[in-house]
Amino acid sequence: MARTVIAGNWKMHGLKADLAVIQAVADGLADKPDNIEALLCLPATLVASGAALAAGTDLEIGGQSCHQAGRGAHTGDISAEMLADAGASHVIVGHSERRADHGESDGQAAAQAEAAIAAGLTPIICVGETLAERESGKALEVVTKQVLGSVPEAAGTTSVIVAYEPVWAIGTGHTPTPEQIEEVHAAIRATLSQRFGDAGAKIPLLYGGSMKPGNAAEILAVQDVNGGLIGGASLKAEDFLAIYAAAVSQLS
């Protein structure tokens, strides 16, 4: 059985003034059960200060992207080792916004995930179909291809997380039905189990896309949904903690 992970993705939001939100989230995790992880993936500028605030609490801090190279002439990029050095434990790779804004491919996502693993980080590898792909009946085919291309071989022997984020659900207020989520998560689980055996059965599969306190319990109850990757609702401590509480209540 995969562990539960509730992860926030702040995207390009957050200034020093918002460190108070991180503190409030950390405070709200008191008495966290062992079989659930809570983390916030912050903009790079806040990773070090966020990690310092979260030190000694149950909140973990992640980055949102990393370069596949360890170091070098890559102006504006950040390496996995830099994120780890700043106090991150996780990093998102292959988010659809990176794929759309920066043309990142499955191969790059896999290379970034490998770089993250080499630096001691847990990669959160994102996949998800567009609306056009879903409407043309290709959602499962597209997502399976992304999983095969974006999840590196090392996932068989080390900790990785996979997030299913249908592009059409991100920031739109539209979510798939529980049946649609279940169908895609089952396909991802089957692909990972086929490739990695028992290790594939233990990889946490997160759902992401317009997840909020009002729909979290229903989504988290879906078979093979092991948590959430939350954008907008992670910017408010109260909303993020409500989703976390929904996950905790399903553990017991």
Chain positions 79 to 138 lying near ligand 13P, rule: CB under 6 A, are: 95
Does 232 contact ligand 13P by CB under 6 A?
yes
Window 33-72: contact mask with ligand 13P (x via CB under 6 A): ----------------------------------------
Number of amino acids touching ligand 13P (CB under 6 A): 14
Q: Which residue has the tokens 């020093």?
A: 16
**Tokens (6 digits) for 149:** 């291309």
Residue 16 CB coordination number (10 Å): 9
Closest CA to 60 of 96, 94, 84: 84
Single out the residue of 14, 123, 204, 208 in contact with ligand 13P (rule: CB under 6 A).
Answer: 208
Closest CA to 163 of 248, 94, 239, 79: 94
Residue 130 CB coordination number (10 Å): 16
- The residues, any chain, with a CB within 8 Å of residue 84's CB and separated by 6 or more, are 119, 120, 121
Q: Let me know if 245 is exposed, middle or buried by CB neighbors in 10 A (0-12, 13-18, 19+).
A: middle
Does 9 contact ligand 13P by CB under 6 A?
yes
Q: Which residues are catalytic?
A: 95, 165
Least Å from the CB of residue 174 to ligand 13P: 9
Single out the residue of 86, 162, 170, 248 in contact with ligand 13P (rule: CB under 6 A).
Answer: 170
- Give the interface segment with ligand 13P, choosing from 16-24, 25-33, 110-118, 226-234 (CB under 6 A): 226-234
Single out the residue of 231, 237, 243, 247 in contact with ligand 13P (rule: CB under 6 A).
Answer: 231
28 versus 166: smaller Cβ distance to ligand 13P: 166
In angstroms and rounded to an integer, the radius of gyration of the C-alpha atoms of the chain is 17
Residues that bind ligand 13P (CB under 6 A): 9, 95, 165, 170-171, 208-211, 229-233
